[in-house]
Amino acid sequence: MSPLVRRVIAVIIGCAVAIGIVRLLEQLAHQVTMPAGLDPTNIGQVKLALERGEFPLASLALVLCGWLLAAYAGSRIAARIGQARIASLAFTVIFTAVIIHDLTALPHPTWMWIGGALGVPLVALGAAGETITVRGL
């Protein structure tokens, strides 16, 4: 398999794992700490609850932790499978764009913007900080 194809596949797998982690922790946040009477599948209700500050801090913190964990795991996977830091960099750009899109879609608090827009790329880039020496994957 050519190195380019390997790196593209690595980025796709890293993104898939990251999205899975985010969805899992968002579901957990919705089950554990959801405002009474809120339907999490109704975007209008979610937006209104965020604007009013009705979401518990624990719920929002769990979502941010999911973003950071996903950034770490996805970046490590992309770098490891792709056998190059460029795969991790590509993952970082794509995943950060996804998080910023999520942040702009709904009114999140400032601390989530800082954690998402700044924390996610820093964690993702830090995760691929080691030189990739594994050749057998």
Amino acid 136: pLDDT: 44
Q: Which tokens sit at 22?
A: 């985010």
The pLDDT score that the predictor gives to residue 135 is 45
Domain ranges within the chain, ordered by starting residue: 3-127
pTM: 0.86
Say what the pLDDT of residue 137 is: 44
pLDDT at residue 130, as a whole number: 58
- pLDDT beyond 90 at 81: yes
Report the C-alpha gap between 74 and 89 in whole angstroms: 11
